Structure 1
Amino acid sequence: MQKFNDFLLLIDSYIGSGAWFVYLLLGVGVFFTIYLGFPQLRYVRYAIKIVMGKFDREDDEGDTSHFQALATALSGTVGTGNIAGVAYAVYLGGPAALFWMLVTALIGMTTKFVEVTLSHKYREKAEDGSITGGPMYFMKKRLDIKLPSGKVLKTGGVMAVVFAIATVLSSFGTGNLPQINSISNSINATFGVPHIITGLVLSVLLGIIIIGGIKRIAQVTSKLVPTMAIIYFIGAIAVILYNYENIIPSVVSVFADVFSGSAAKGGFLGASIAFAFNRGVNRGLFSNEAGQGSAPIAHSAARAHEPVSEGLVALLEPFIDTIIICSITGLTLLASGVWTQKHQNHFQRAEMQVLSGVFDDEVPEDRARLSAHVNNENTLPLFTGRLVVEDGHIVSDVSLIHSRSLAEKVIVYSAKKMFSGELEVKNGVVQAAKKIHFEGKSLLHSAPLTTLAFTRSWFGDFGKYIVSIGLLLFAFSTAISWSYYGSRAVIFLVGMKGVKYYRVVYVLGFFVASFTDTTIIWTLSGITIALMTIPNLIGIFVLHREMKEEVNGFWLEYKRRFPDEKLPIFCKVEKKK
């Protein structure tokens, strides 16, 4: 597993975690923000009216209402990214990472507006009469290149196929594997239910729901989304108010560390500006999926005669998902203080390193060297040789890094008994069998960190049940929505005949991931997100002029239908050319 995870990390380092990917994502969003005149600020109140049916016509074609499309898309984005993803970003980059998540969301509001509008415009009807759409359709129809000789290069078709294949992969890497993994981890930690039992029960339920298609999915998600938001909001606010003295310092730390990097604090060894920026943007995308091209698939099914109207509905998603829900999660983590504290932990091999020499993170010099090591700035020598263990305690002159922190009070077990003997270590990696496991104190991340934060309120230990229930609803609804995204991509690639096989594999993957290593799943999700996002961003950028024409046409019709209503500030109504 360690070698496989290292291989995935190598791939991810060139795409999703590469600096160029972050700049592409933000660059396209910033371009459209300026090009369209900051629609995320000027169009919000109109978007709310459209969700409430303001712009509807009786003959609008589609399978879902605006609200159901928004709920389905939100259920696809409001998931582990809001609970586990925020905790993972803060764990990696500190408070500064949260700032970049929020910036990504603000810019992402425009990106989602654009991608949904263009996808809705070019949607089609599937063989069964249902509406199907997504970026692959505008790519296929609009992105071919016509040469001066008259010959047409099928570049759009190639991009569409790449995007559709990436969507199928991402349905597992984003909507399937991380969701059930976080659910099973949380349920196991809270209620002691074995991972495999949780996976089995939810896999059966998932299969029953997704067989019903988009109409049943929309019915389920439109009820789940409001319920899960209310439950989660109550628990988070309780933590924040309980730790009221930390509210202002926490908010200040989010902005104070932006251009200096998050300083070391407690067990947290600090993070550079670049690291916080990259992780914050990356986790921001994982949370709201702006630019990824997933939400347009859900919105394409909405009843609407004008694509821009549905784009405006989608504009609300990053605001709700990241600016509201992720901010609440982030403030909960910071105010509770759990993100800097070491806690009893069962060590995962993929997150563990054995260093040569003994270090103490309370000694300034050692702390600086450890910080440089975990941030890949100046690595320390890794241990190779025989690790001597007596009655569970390591007696060799080594130090253990786990979860980017110096591990303390480490005990080595063989099955359930304290281990005595020697373990082979190569380049900091323990080569022992699976029955050998390590426990001790280190930083937590992902869902366990958020779960712990929710216990720091008047609810006490009951707070962890709020996270477990919230995570169950959040993540399960995400898995439901992503099964729809993947099935639409399969229809584009091979037709309706492939959907039933896809659903079977999707449910089986959901089950297997309930007891699979967490770190590998997070790494895989980063890769699949990038493979889906890159062609989508290129596509919407190429069609920027068409997007602007669509916006002008929308406001022209809006003014005609509602002559007494004021248009957004600086909005010029121009006829389409």
Structure 2
Amino acid sequence: MEMIHHTLQAVDRFIWGPPLLILLVGTGVYLTWRLGAIQVLRLPLAMRYLFGGNKGSGDQGDISSFAALCTALSATIGTGNIVGVATAIKMGGPGALFWMWLAAFFGMATKYAECLLSVKYRVKDENGQMAGGPMYYIERGLGQRWLAKLFALFGIGVACFGIGTFPQVNAITQAAHISLHIPLWLSALVLTVLVALVTLGGIKSISAVAQKTVPAMAVVYVAATVLVLFYNYQQIPQALMLVLHSAFNPTAATGGFVGATIMIAIQSGVARGVFSNESGLGSAPIAAAAAKTDSCVRQGLVSMTGTFFDTIIICTMTGLTLILTGVWSGDSAGAAMTTLAFQQGLSPAIGQYVVTFGLVFFAFTTIIGWNYYGERCVTYLFGVKGIRWYKYFFIVLVACGAFLKLDLIWIIADIVNGLMAVPNLIGLIGLRHVVISETQKYFAALTEQRAVENMA
């Protein structure tokens, strides 16, 4: 067993090593350049589309653009925003936060491109629902059906045995047990029933829950971090300087922190940033395909705001809280490290419950979001006849998750998650000219429309 563990660790380090990280960030850099820094210059327009409703957006789709974004965010805003940030800073020092920002900045262009392609190449399944994602634009755009099937297979693996089930279930049941003293079997039973009720209702049920839960939980969590920052506002400039300095200089060992090289800071920040916002992994495009829109560019703009909210806002808030309170250099790690930061920044009682309820809600929405991703991958491989059996199997896995040891599961989840990115990035690179062409046509038409309106 120990040999298997070491072998999987070696595979994990290889997959999430420099080649994949360079490919992920490099794709974002290229798209940023060719699309004219779309994540900066067009972000205000994307925000107007997001919060301005669906006027003129068309009827093709199952749910609103906002609901599609919330469904994608339900899967991306998860334990990575609490545990992942703490892990990155613990391993790479405060400088890891800078590299997390960098990955998110270029990742916004990647997220825009993959969600644009998802809407452009989406189809209707046998149940009349929209189906899209990397498997469809790889097959219909590149003509590589074998590569599309490979992506779908990895997607099912992540949904069932990785991020979608065991780590999230374990986070919820353990948090409820430690803070609220709820027995594992009881929280596992309640969680299984709730997941069943939501997921058996399909995309409209999932998006309805996501629309209400995601904004609420994000606002509450961000509000708690804002309070910590407010109480320590005088130290914020110093904390930001520490982040920038540590990003380009080795971090000295202090307290329980063992010190970090620049390479460790880069690898920790980029890997955890991508793990959190999923830009380039190919998951968010599956949700984007369900959006009611007649413009793939418009939905791409809305979808790229997800990376902004996930990493630039929520991960930054967590990271600054860890740095300002000084817990990053202590002996704590993971969720315990974030809990300690809020306990010191707010109060022992309030801080504990902020992290506990944050983990519970973040992890729950990640489960239902990944259930939908897995469902779409099953539909692609086996047709709609496979959906019912997949959902039953998924619910059984949720019920088992609280009682499993997660050492190997986390490693397997990381491996399959990384493997998902490879076919998707091949698709993005192969279809880059389609992304550029669609973008240029859309904004040329928009400029012409505005010129006509100004003349009228």
Instruction: Tell me which interval the TM-score lies in, with the shorter structure as reference length.
Output: over 0.9
Q: SS of the counterpart of 2:248?
A: coil
Structure 1 residue identity aligned to 2:105: L
Q: Per-residue deviation at 1:288?
A: 0.3
Secondary structure of 2:324's match? helix
Aligned pairs for 1:81-480 (under 5 A) are 81-144=80-143, 156-172=144-160, 173-342=162-331, 444-480=332-368
Change (3 A) 1:225 1:54: closer
1:226 is displaced (CA, Å) by 1.4
Q: Which runs of 5+ in 2 are unaligned?
A: none
Counterpart amino acid of residue 162 in structure 1 = L
Change in Cα spacing, 1:262 to 1:449, as seen in structure 2 (3 Å) is same
Alpha carbons 1:56, 1:304 under 8 Å: kept: no
Q: Which portions of structure 1, spanning 4 or more consecutive aligned residues, are displaced by more than 6 angstroms?
A: none
> What does the per-residue CA deviation read over 1:262-319, in whole Å, with 9 as the maximum and x for residues that have no partner?
2211111012211221121111111000001100000100011111110000111111
Tell me if the contact between 1:174 and 1:528 (Cα under 8 Å) persists in the aligned partners. no
Note if contact 2:134-2:148 (Cα within 8 Å) is conserved in structure 1.
Answer: yes
C-alpha separation between the residues in 2 aligned to 1:54 and 1:557? 21
* TM-score normalized with structure 2 length: 0.95
- Residue in structure 2 matched with residue 42 of structure 1 by the alignment: 41
Determine if contact 1:257/1:263 at 8 Å carries over to the other structure. Answer: no
Q: Do structure 1's residue 483 and structure 2's residue 371 form an aligned pair?
A: yes
Please provide the CA RMSD for this pair.
Answer: 1.8
Give the Å deviation of 1:59.
4.2
Residue pair 1:240, 1:336 contacting (<8 A) in 2 also: no
- Contact 2:107/2:279 (CA < 8 Å) preserved in 1? yes
Cα–Cα, structure 1 residues 13 and 445, in superposed 2: closer, same or farther, change >3 Å? same
1:531 match: 419
Distance 2:237 2:408 in 1: 36
The answer for the alignment partner of 1:66 in structure 2 is: 65
- Checking the alignment, whether the CA contact within 8 Å between 1:242 and 1:456 is kept in structure 2 is no
Which one is further off, 321-330 or 447-456? Answer: 447-456
% identical aligned pairs? 41
Structure 2 residue aligned with 1:10: 10
- Rounded Cα–Cα distance in structure 1 between residues aligned with 2:400 and 2:11: 23
Q: Which amino acid aligns with 1:294?
A: S
Contact 2:168 2:367 in 1 (8 A): yes
Question: Can you give the 5+ residue segments of structure 1 that lack an aligned partner in the other structure?
Answer: 145-155, 343-443, 567-577
Distance 2:448 2:386 in 1: 44
Distance in 1 between residues matched to 2:259 and 2:217, nearest whole Å: 33
- Distance in 1 (CA, whole Å) between partners of 2:340 and 2:97 is 18
Tell me which residue corresponds to 2:395: 507
- 1:448-485 C-alpha deviation (Å, 9 max, x unpaired): 22122111134332211111112111111111111000
Task: Mark the CA change 1:60 to 1:563 in structure 2 (over 3 Å): closer, same or farther.
Answer: farther
Give the superposition deviation at 1:522. 3.0
> Could you say which structure has the greater relative contact order, defined with CA pairs below 8 angstroms and 6 or more residues apart?
2
TM-score by length of 1: 0.76
CA distances 1:131-152 after superposition (whole Å, capped 9, x unpaired): 11101001111213xxxxxxxx
Task: Tell me how far apart the structure 2 counterparts of residues 127 and 293 of structure 1 sit (CA, whole Å).
Answer: 23
Which amino acid in 1 is paired with 2:137? F
Q: Greater helix percent: which structure?
A: 2
2:273 and 2:381 map into 1 onto residues whose CA distance is 29
After superposition, give the CA deviation of every residue in 1:323-367 in whole Å (9 maximum; x if it has no partner).
Answer: 00000000111111122222xxxxxxxxxxxxxxxxxxxxxxxxx
Q: Give the superposition deviation at 1:243.
A: 3.6
Match of 2:445 in 1: 557
CA–CA separation in structure 2 for the residues paired with 1:4 and 1:208: 37
Letter in 1 for 2:70: A
CA drift at 1:560 = 4.6
More strand by share: 1
Residues 303/98 of structure 1: CA separation in 2 closer, same or farther (3 Å cut): same
1:245: how far off? 4.9
CA distance in 1, matches of 2:367, 2:453: 40
Q: Deviations over 1:228-266 (max 9, x none)?
A: 012112221222333445433322221111122322111
